[in-house]
Structure 1
Amino acid sequence: MTDPAPARSPEQRKHDVLHRLDHDEDVWVATASHDGEPCLVPLSFVWDGGTLLLATRRTNPTAVNVTPTGRVRLSLGHTRDVVLIEGEAEIVEGTELPTESGDAFAEKLKWDLRGRPAWVYLRVTPRGVKAWREENELKGRDLMTDGTWLV
């Protein structure tokens, strides 16, 4: 293993996280069923005014699992550039989605699901964000707790 790059400052990590949220297209989404069965799937997303907007079929386990508690965990990146987001998700029907949000999703992902009843949007409000690359960034990896940025 090579020597890691110097640890980034918390401010740089937040900047990098926000850049990823603005530019990445897919995120891993982890939920659990009522009886604890885990589900992990990649979904496309758009960073929409401080929340992540995703879409899935309403019958998929991810949408079904969101209903009881709203708790989700999201992950961007690979094992050497991790962004973990703990959040609360709510289901938003396409007919109830604000026009600006639907337009942003359709423009970024070239995919417009409004008016397609088999699909729902999931709006995830981050409650916690952690980011690190190597062991030297484990200390100070918490960038957001209880929905408030620490930096």
Structure 2
Amino acid sequence: MSEREPARSPEQRKQDALDRLEKEEDVWVATASADGVPCLVPLSFVWDRGTLLMATRRTNPTAVNVNPSGQARLTLGHTRDVVLIEGTAEIVEGADLPAESGDAFAEKLVWDPRARPAWVYLRITPHTVKAWREVNELAGRDLMRDSTWLI
């Protein structure tokens, strides 16, 4: 992408973001501990009923950090084509996960952590979604605010 290319319409940016959520497998996840220590890790995910579903060991900092604040920030893409998501994270035990969600995760990512007691799912519900490629898209980057799509 170059700055000389025209900015995408808000509708196209939303569709591009949704396509990435459906097709991509990995996302950067940022959380912070109760005392403010940041943690940034890549996790595999599936877009499941309007949320991002991922799995990690229950003792990993990402899972531990969910409990104090529930806030997480996620990014797809690189700096010249980014989707930035802010949302609320919750821990979901494998036994509490709806079968359809666990099946979708296992099918897309080719592994199934439901039977692994050391693992938990993280479900992130987006509150804010922004997408942009270059400076010419910064003005219209907001696609979701307060959990409502703007377009």
TM range (shorter): over 0.9
CA distance in 2, matches of 1:3, 1:69: 37
Q: Report if aligned partners of 1:26, 1:45 keep a CA contact under 8 Å in 2.
A: yes
Q: Give 3-state SS (helix, strand or coil) of 2:34's partner.
A: coil
Q: TM-score, normalised by structure 2?
A: 0.98
CA distance in 1, matches of 2:68, 2:62: 11
- Residue deviations 1:65-88 (CA, integer Å, cap 9, x gap): 001111000000001101000000
CA distance in 2, matches of 1:56, 1:76: 18
Q: Which amino acid counterpart does residue 12 of structure 1 have in structure 2?
A: Q
CA distance in 2, matches of 1:41, 1:18: 22
Q: Which amino acid counterpart does residue 97 of structure 1 have in structure 2?
A: L
| Number of the residue aligned with 1:59 | 59
The answer on 1:105 being equivalent to 2:105 is yes
What is the 5 A alignment of 1:23-62? Answer: 23-62=23-62
CA distance in 2, matches of 1:3, 1:82: 15
Shift of 1:3: 4.1
CA distance in 1, matches of 2:114, 2:82: 32
CA distance in 1, matches of 2:40, 2:85: 14
| Number of the residue aligned with 1:20 | 20
Q: State the identity as a percent.
A: 77
CA distance in 2, matches of 1:3, 1:46: 31
Aligned length: 151
> Structure 2: any 5+ residue segments left out of the alignment?
none
CA distance in 1, matches of 2:43, 2:51: 15
The answer on 1:5 being equivalent to 2:18 is no
Q: Which amino acid counterpart does residue 78 of structure 2 have in structure 1?
A: H
Q: Give 3-state SS (helix, strand or coil) of 2:78's partner.
A: coil
Shift of 1:123: 0.5
Q: Which amino acid counterpart does residue 114 of structure 1 have in structure 2?
A: R
- Residue deviations 1:33-74 (CA, integer Å, cap 9, x gap): 011000000000000010000100000000000011110000
Shift of 1:115: 1.6
CA distance in 2, matches of 1:53, 1:3: 33
Shift of 1:5: 1.2
Q: Which amino acid counterpart does residue 88 of structure 2 have in structure 1?
A: E
- Residue deviations 1:88-125 (CA, integer Å, cap 9, x gap): 01000001100000000000000100021100000000
Q: Which amino acid counterpart does residue 132 of structure 2 have in structure 1?
A: W
Structural RMSD (CA): 1.1
Q: TM-score, normalised by structure 1?
A: 0.98
